[in-house]
Amino acid sequence: MRRGTNNNYSASVEADYPFALPDHFDVESQLQLLGQHLSVHVAADADGLAVNIDSQNELIGRLGARMTRPFDIASGRLMPYPGIDVLYAFAGGKNVEISEARFTSGTIGDTVQSSVGVNGTNTPKISRSVAAFLTSSRSATRDSVAGC
């Protein structure tokens, strides 16, 4: 495929607030809004057909929560957590044109995502601190979740 000129812009705003629970547990509410603009100008595929993806815009909202509890260890702090998020696509999808044929692209759809993870930070012996994050998640779209 002959490449065209591509531009991609994205921005995200996120807010969260932890609510203290007994025994050092916290429930952290999360709210995020993510916008993305992708502009792909006309290019040609391997057969020389004109491919026009045009401009694609996506606006996604995320509402979620996770439960955390920090554990102090000899070299720092670990904070494991389970979490759940609901993602909603407010806007997105446009037309894609290949030669003279026009196709409609879709959105990500409404998605439920569950995750488990751990955050870790070391206690710096010198002046340098290191943080590590590990998350595993599973997502299901509205069509594959019973009752949605």
Rounded distance, CA 9 to CA 57, Å? Answer: 10
Per-residue pLDDT tens over the stretch 39-51:
777 677 777 777 7
Q: Could you give the 3-state DSSP secondary structure of residue 110? A: coil
69 has pLDDT over 90: yes
Q: In the chain, what's the furthest Cα-to-Cα distance?
A: 65
Q: Which residue has the higher pLDDT, 96 or 82?
A: 82
Among candidates 93, 87, 74, which has minimal Cα distance to 114? 87
Region 11-18: mean pLDDT is: 94
Indicate the residue type of 7.
Answer: N
The tokens describing 91, both together, are: 């806007």
The 3-state DSSP class for residue 4 equals coil
pLDDT band at 145 (very low <50, low <70, confident <90, very high): very low
- Name the residue with higher pLDDT: 74 or 27: 27
Q: Give residue 124's pLDDT.
A: 74
